[in-house]
Structure 1
Amino acid sequence: MRFERSHTRRAVALGVAGSLVLLASACGGDDGSSGGSSGGAGALEGRGPITFATGKDTSGFLPKQVAAWNSQHPTEKVEIKELPEDADAQRQQMVQNAQNKSDAFSVLNMDVVWTSEFAANQWITQIPEDKVPDLGKLIPATVETAKYRDKLYAVPITSDGGLLYYRSDLLTKAGVEAPKTWDEMLAACLKVQALPEAKGMSCYAGQFEKYEGLTVNFSEAINSAGGVIVDKDGKPNVDTPEALAGLQELTKGFSTGAIPKAAVTYKEEESRRAFQEGKLLFLRNWPYVYALAGKTDGSSKIAGKFGVAPLPGKTGPGVSSLGGHDYAISQFAKNKATAVDFINFMASEERQKANIQGTSQAPTYASLYDDPELTKAFPYLAPLKASILGAQPRPRVVKYGDVTAAIQTAAYDALKNGKDPKQALSELQTKLSTLITQ
């Protein structure tokens, strides 16, 4: 479930708020109106068994969380409906289920950027804020991801910020520190790769396959160079010198070999495995990697040999895309009263603490970032906090599926197919102007 995933996605409440811009793009009759009884409190009725549609659980911990609920609610059990690992495939199945008005999925584990689309099309149910008792204790920025037109349609369960994983053992031997800029990272690679232990290792990778992870990595490169995809007024503004500098940093990485050619096929898991197998010096990925890379059961070759830092940028620390996952209730689900209670159970401080301990995924409960037990066990919480404090959302638009597809095409054409980055951005600007309207 990454990007996040599928795969999100991170106290932090201090100054994080700043309302995110809600782009109220309309699409025909699906204008986002939540009027009528379909979205109100009256819809949250019915008790009994429910299903939970979620991306593939690579941690193995989710069944334990659900089992904790089931043991306390024997007549309202939750059945996990595991969807593919790929976030785009998850979204597609959820959309198809909604378009068929099927009750097969009760609670949806959604990427934070899907809320506007699902709410505007009335595929998910509005949740009155008084039905979520701990909402005010969650990171404000994560709560905004769960809203559409100032109304709550989901509850934030995990947040996410991109992190830079690095081989601390090799950097220490080479006498270099964790980089703060792209140039510092490339210079560090040259020094480390001169070591016998680093022979054959590549410098850096992220997620560059043509899927949602590419939208994330592209957005981070653009934002870290001072550019934007959508400006503060909600208008596309990607054909700029700053955006060009960000995209060129990625294309230069591929052309020089600093980013291995294989990285154009990497999603979260492929890139994680490459790092754990000792093939990469630096990796951009989400917090979940920390627990898996640190395993001492033989599955990771780098346990105890890596560190975590904020993402690098052009002139200083970079800008992460705001990731994470929100739980929403399908408009067509049965037993919605049970669904609300299950969501509140999973969003509770107790469950979120258990989740970070079991998976290293970022919580949305602000106090957990200052929990002494957690900060001792998970040193990455400090750079993660910094990542989230400076994170920027991907475009929050009703036609998000079309927007992210356009971004992925432009980025992939430049990285894989050799299209001139300036041309790719110019064409993307034109395409986004047709998709994002005021």
Structure 2
Amino acid sequence: MRRIPPIGAPRNTGPLVTGPLVTGTVVCAALALSLSACGGDDGGGSKGGAGTASLTGRGPITFVTGKDRSGYLQKQLDGWNADHPQEKVRVIELPDEPNDQRQQMIQNATTRSDAYTVLNLDVVWTAEFAANRWLTPLPKDKIDLAKMLPATVTTGQYRGNLYAVPSTSDAGMLYYRKDLLAKAGISAPPKTYAEMWADCDKVKKLPQGKGVDCFFTEVNKTESVTISAVEAIGSAGGSIVGPDGKPTLNTPQAKQGLEFLVNAKKDGRMPKEAVTLDTEGGRRYFQSGKLLFQRQWPYQYALADKDDGSSKVAGEFAVAQLPGPNGPGVANLGGHNLAISAFAKNKATALDFIRYLTGEQSQRANLLATSQAPTLASLYDDPEMTKRFPYLPVLKQAITNARPRPVAVKYGDVTAAIQGDVYDAVTGKKTVDQALTDLQGKLGPLTAQ
């Protein structure tokens, strides 16, 4: 594998203690959302901030990430370790559920432990982690951001500074059984909800359609229901939090979006198990042949298309843009970014490792092995890649038009509030109107600046 040219002085340094105590930082960030007001400038070069000048130290590091279901991550690490025997990377795998990953990373940061070096962050965690001084600012001139999709680069920035480098992107797509649609005489995937329901009714009349559920998007009480809410409300023309940072759930568009999720469950369009299925559970459900339409991430494509007997739908599905009320819907902008813990040792090695994982060679290999969405724009137009993965043009459009989840320093509290009220609406514990009213009230103080 290609060796990354080293950055920084080849010497070892101890763990860096950066910024004020977490509690003080959170309060300050919530009141002012300004790092300068919290005792340091955005660059982190003064008053205890971990600036880019602190990217020193070489030696072993750790890579902290959610569980790798592809089995390919270790091969990438083996390639790095073979070329860097004195700077080996050891992977620390966290649980599947994003909420659990975030909590463990926060626990490590609040204890100022140097056990975690490179963090594989969900794109919505950047503001929270940066505002709390848990991340080391990164030098923009050492990373070729111009080759990356602009939407992905934005997710790694906070207050104009770079804190994380996009490694994989993500946007929801509509997986559909092209074989069943063809048998029902349907030549194209649906662009609207009405078309999707009509297609379901036609397929269910077929012998092959018996026992096949219509549609699934995650509505279990996890981060996934926040994503489903962002997409449903965004597809209706609304938002959860507006450009000014204030909640916008008291609108007809927000009501229409939430009603889509509620009615899909209530009317039996979704599986009975929908409120308990997580991302992996949904993947297995689709691969078992029990779903006609599914909102899912790109990673599923390679797994569902395996011809080793693990998928009953291999070769029988395709992907399209998510449908909406009146036309194509809006996907959530997902993905993961790589950041360096403010308290880590060997940060020069960490930066080189980030450059290695986000370089074209690694992203190309990762796409081929896992079907995870790359962040380099050129791979979406590469003839070899589009031949292997016909969905890439669909995915590129989805990422370009995608909506982010609410950007908030108190993101953990924000998403917990969304999860609670949306789940209560979907399960019938609250009416749509009551859920939106309650959520509007909760998000006001949590997003106040």
Please tell me the TM-score bracket, short chain as reference.
over 0.9
Name the structure 1 match of 2:11: none
TM-score (norm 1): 0.93
Match of 1:159 in 2: 169
Matched position secondary structure for 1:393: coil
What secondary structure sits across from 2:30 in the alignment? coil
Using the alignment, how far apart are the partners of 1:320 and 1:94 within structure 2? Answer: 27
State how far apart, in whole Å, the 2-side matches of 1:212 and 1:272 are: 16
Secondary structure, in 3 states, of the residue corresponding to 1:88? helix
Task: Determine whether 1:433 maps to 2:444.
Answer: yes
| Cα deviation code 1:167-197 (max 9, x no counterpart) | 0000000011210011110110000011101
Corresponding residue for 2:335? 324
Counterpart amino acid of residue 268 in structure 1: T
Match of 1:72 among 63, 77, 83: 83
Out of 392, 398, 402, which is 2:413 matched to?
Answer: 402
Aligned counterpart, 1:19: none
Contact 1:206–1:284 (CA under 8 A) maintained in structure 2: yes
Alignment-derived partner of residue 169 in structure 1: 179
The separation in 1 between residues aligned to 2:363 and 2:444, in whole angstroms, is: 39
Look up the match of 1:149.
159
Q: Which runs of 4+ in 1 moved over 3 A?
A: 28-35
Query: How far is 1:31 from its partner?
Result: 4.7
> 2:126 — aligned with what?
115
Match status 1:283 vs 2:294: yes
Aligned with 1:45 (options 36, 39, 56): 56
- CA positional deviation for 1:165: 0.3
Alignment check: 8 A CA contact 2:421 2:439 kept: yes
| Letter of the structure 2 residue corresponding to residue 73 of structure 1 | H
1:140 aligns with one of 135, 150, 153: 150
Question: For residues 142 and 25 of structure 1, do their structure 2 counterparts lie closer, same or farther at Cα, with a shift above 3 Å needed?
Answer: farther
Aligned pair count reads 414
SS in 2 for 1:308: strand
Residue 26 of structure 1: which of 12, 26, 29 is its match?
A: 29
Residue 178 (str. 1) matches residue 189 (str. 2): yes
What per-residue deviation string (whole Å, max 9, x for no partner) do you get for residues 175-233 of structure 1? 11210011110110000011101101110111111111110011100000111111122
Q: How far did 1:236 drift? A: 0.9
| Superposed displacement of residue 32, structure 1 | 3.4
Q: Which moved more, 1:225-234 or 1:25-34?
A: 25-34
After the TM superposition, which residues 32-431 of structure 1 pair with which residues of structure 2 at under 5 Å, given as runs?
Answer: 32-33=35-36, 34=42, 35=44, 36=46, 38-132=49-143, 134-176=144-186, 177-431=188-442
Deviations 1:103-131 (A, max 9, x none): 11100000000000000000010012112
- Tell me how far 1:333 sits from its aligned partner: 0.4
Q: Which structure 2 residue ranges, 5 or more long, are not aligned? A: 1-26, 37-41
Conserved 8 A contact 2:381-2:393: no
Contact 1:31 1:121 in 2 (8 A): no
C-alpha separation between the residues in 2 aligned to 1:32 and 1:80? Answer: 31
> Is the CA contact 1:320–1:387 (under 8 Å) kept in the aligned structure 2?
yes
Distance, in Å, in 1 between the alignment partners of 2:392 and 2:28 is: 35
Aligned counterparts of 1:432 and 1:418: Cα–Cα separation in 2 = 20
Please, which moves more after superposition, 259-268 or 180-189? 259-268
Take 1:82 and 1:29, find their aligned partners in 2: how far apart are those partners?
35
Q: C-alpha separation between the residues in 1 aligned to 2:379 and 2:166? A: 14
- Distance in 2 separating the partners of 1:69 and 1:27: 40
Alpha-carbon distance, 1:288 to partner: 0.3
How far apart are 1:260 and its partner, in Å? 1.4
* Structure 1 residues 188 and 29, CA gap change in structure 2 (3 angstroms): closer
What 5-or-longer segments of structure 1 have no aligned partner? 1-23
8 Å CA contact 1:220–1:318 kept in 2: the answer is yes
Deviation at 1:417, TM superposition (A): 3.8
Partner of 1:320: helix, strand, or coil?
Answer: coil
Deviation at 1:29, TM superposition (A): 8.9
Distance across 2 between alignment mates of 1:358 and 1:32: 40
Task: Name the TM-score, length of structure 2 as normaliser.
Answer: 0.90
User: Using a 3 Å threshold, how does the CA distance of structure 1 residues 118 and 202 change in structure 2: closer, same or farther?
Assistant: same
Q: CA deviation at 1:416?
A: 1.5
2: CA distance between counterparts of 1:25 and 1:99? 16
* Letter paired with 2:149: I
Larger-gyration structure (1/2): 2
- Which structure has more relative contact order (CA 8 Å, sep 6+)? It is 1
Cα contact 1:25–1:398 (8 A) shared by 2? no
Measured on the aligned residues, the alpha-carbon RMSD in Å equals 1.4
Q: Secondary structure at the match of 2:380?
A: helix
Greater mean alpha carbon deviation, residues 120-129 or residues 411-420: 411-420
Identity %: 58
- Tell me if structure 1 keeps the 8 A contact 2:221–2:420: yes
**Alpha-carbon contact 1:25-1:397 (below 8 Å) kept:** no
Is the Cα contact below 8 Å between 1:356 and 1:363 reproduced in 2? yes
Contact 1:25 1:437 in 2 (8 A): no
C-alpha distance in 1 between matches for 2:34 and 2:57: 28
Distance 2:212 2:314 in 1: 17
> Which residue of 2 is the match for residue 6 of structure 1?
none
Q: Distance in 2 between matches of 1:319 and 1:210?
A: 21
* 1:229-258: CA deviation from partner (whole Å, max 9, x where unpaired): 111222111121111011111111111100
Q: Distance in 2 between matches of 1:41 and 1:392?
A: 30
